Amino acid sequence: MSTQELSGVAVSPGQASGPVVRVAEPAGEPASGPPPDDPQAEATRIAPAAQAVVGRLEALAEAATGDAATILTTTAAMAGDPALVGQAEQLVSTERMPAARAVYEAANGFVQQLAAAGGYMAERVRDVEDVRDRLVAELLGTAPPGVPLLERPSVLVGRDLAPADTAGLDPALVLALVTEEGGPTSHTAILARSLGIPAVVAVRGLLALEAEALAVDGDLGTVTIADPDAAPVAAKAEAAAEWNGTGATADGRRVKVLGNVGSPADAEAAARAGAEGVGLFRTEFCYLDAPAEPSVQRQREAYAAVLEPFHGKPVIVRTLDAGADKPLAFLSHDDEPNPALGVRGLRIAFDLPEVLDRQLEAIAGAAADSGAEVSVMAPMVATAAEAAWFAERARAAGIERAGVMIEVPAAALAAREILEVSDFVSIGTNDLAQYTFAADRQLGAVAQLNDPWQPGLLRLIAMVGEAARATGKPAGVCGEAAADPLLARVLAGFGLTSLSMNAAAVRAVGASLAGVTFDECAAAARAAVAAPDVPSARTAASAAVSG
């Protein structure tokens, strides 16, 4: 490959070229000494610094709307978290650390917990690191990391973008986003799609590339050195057409467009976006901060708050996705050499079925309280026997409709047998890619293997679609792959009956499906699975629906 071109993971479509502006890097690890002369006075510096950062983030949130405002507000809340501030103050007092170092150490403790949790919670690590770096800069009196003031349309380049940086971007001034780290499920990817900004992530060697201007292809995932004297060019993806709110192809083939949620705020955002229901309700939020297992009543109330915006609509609740790799006090297991492949998800319920039974009781109660049409599904299922065991317990708890997640290759290969004992399946493409390619989805160095356009992954998904047709039962996708409007057409072409995604993608996906017939979707699916690699799969699918 020419040294003039790099490749990464295409996460937001469109093409653009223009001058490069680099994102400011964090100051780095603050010094651990010398110890303060007056630890008590040094500790009192932390809370005002946190409030200063909170104030700036809240001001940005007030000027933003939609998902951007939500992300900025959430980041502000993290910056002012009493637990973070209190722990840092304690480190100054007891360990005689400088304030900046104490904040750094305290925040890293939270980072380690989230990283150990894996999956969705591990994706929040970047949020905490951003808050940490802003607090450290405030205490040191240095410029905060992040996006500088843009004076002209530019291509934004950096190691990664923090959620608050991404949320504050002006699409009129940001031609494209390119990062060396990140992946298909990162905030950069999600917000770039919602703002209509072409983006490529996981571009190895990007920061070493000496270029005054870059051309970015958010469809093919390429980054090329451009002429710095040429006028900026923006050929962003076409804005989504109007969508009538019913997920279907142009000829009436029904494909439900649903939301992924993990909190009451997520549920409200999905409802506002027009989601027809919820395809993935992550229940972990109810457990992560709990020193002991939450009571059935507490769980019931927490779940009902999420279900409320979807009264009379379908909601699929995923049972607790926890285990040896997740630091939940009431789920104690011996240390495992490889927790990602250990006792997690449904597997922990085989040893502690009473925890699952209490959660199912709470879910059934929340369904009655909210009026939502609730189904449940289990994570990390590998065999039909496991699926049957879960379905039996769910029905015993009064939940009539029970399914499972397809997250490991064995489940995709046994999809027909699993569907024979389940009411539906839902494909978690993020984990299915991770396990298929043996590539940690949080690691930028292997992010290209987690690209949802990988033909190997698409072929597994196609097998699940075939099993669904053979058994006459529904199969959906609730991973980030469903948020790509073009890939959504391919997934529909496999015969999948629902697509579930973050709120920002709902309307674009609904409009994309409405713009093509099912036969065109099927042609795109055939073209994609026959392709030898990611770029050709994307190109072939696009040609099939536009030729």
187: annotated active-site residue: yes
- Is the backbone of residue 380 left (phi > 0), alpha (psi -120 to 50) or beta? left
| Whole-number Å distance between alpha carbons of 275 and 256 | 9
* Helix, strand, coil abundance in the chain, percent, nearest 5: 50, 15, 35
* Annotated catalytic residue, options 286, 333, 478, 521: 478
Which are the contacts of 156, defined by CB distance < 8 A and separation ≥ 6?
21, 23, 147, 150, 169, 174, 176, 177, 178
| Whole-number Å distance between alpha carbons of 526 and 495 | 12
Residue 238's identity, in one-letter code, is E
The structure tokens listed for 337 are 């050499």
Give the burial class of 34: count Cβ atoms within 10 A of its Cβ; 0-12 exposed, 13-18 middle, 19 or more buried. exposed
Please report how the helices 296-307 and 353-370 are oriented relative to each other, as an axis angle in degrees rounded to 10: 40
| Whole-number Å distance between alpha carbons of 153 and 17 | 10
The structure tokens listed for 451 are 């690209």
Question: Under DSSP, is residue 344 helix (H, G, I), strand (E, B) or coil?
Answer: strand
Secondary structure element (H or E) that encloses residue 411, with its range: helix 409-413
311: annotated active-site residue: no
* Annotated catalytic residue, options 187, 311, 333, 521: 187
Question: Under DSSP, is residue 444 helix (H, G, I), strand (E, B) or coil?
Answer: helix
Which residue blocks in 283-352 are alpha helix, DSSP H? 296-307, 346-351
Please report how the helices 455-471 and 518-530 are oriented relative to each other, as an axis angle in degrees rounded to 10: 130
Which are the contacts of 507, defined by CB distance < 8 A and separation ≥ 6?
240, 243, 273, 274
| Residue 206 near residue 9, CB atoms below 8 Å | no
| Residue 409 near residue 432, CB atoms below 8 Å | yes
Three-state secondary structure string covering 210-270: CCCEEEEECCCCEEEECCCCCCCEEEECCCCCCCCCCCECCCCCECEEEEEECCHHHHHHH
| Whole-number Å distance between alpha carbons of 171 and 348 | 45
Of 314, 242, 277, 247, nearest to 518 by C-alpha is: 247
Which are the contacts of 246, defined by CB distance < 8 A and separation ≥ 6?
276, 510
| Residue 468 near residue 419, CB atoms below 8 Å | yes
Encode burial over 249-273: b for 16+ CB neighbours within 10 A, e otherwise.
beeebebbbbbbbbbbebbbbbbeb
Question: Under DSSP, is residue 24 helix (H, G, I), strand (E, B) or coil?
Answer: strand
| Whole-number Å distance between alpha carbons of 101 and 215 | 40
Which residues are part of the catalytic machinery? 187, 478
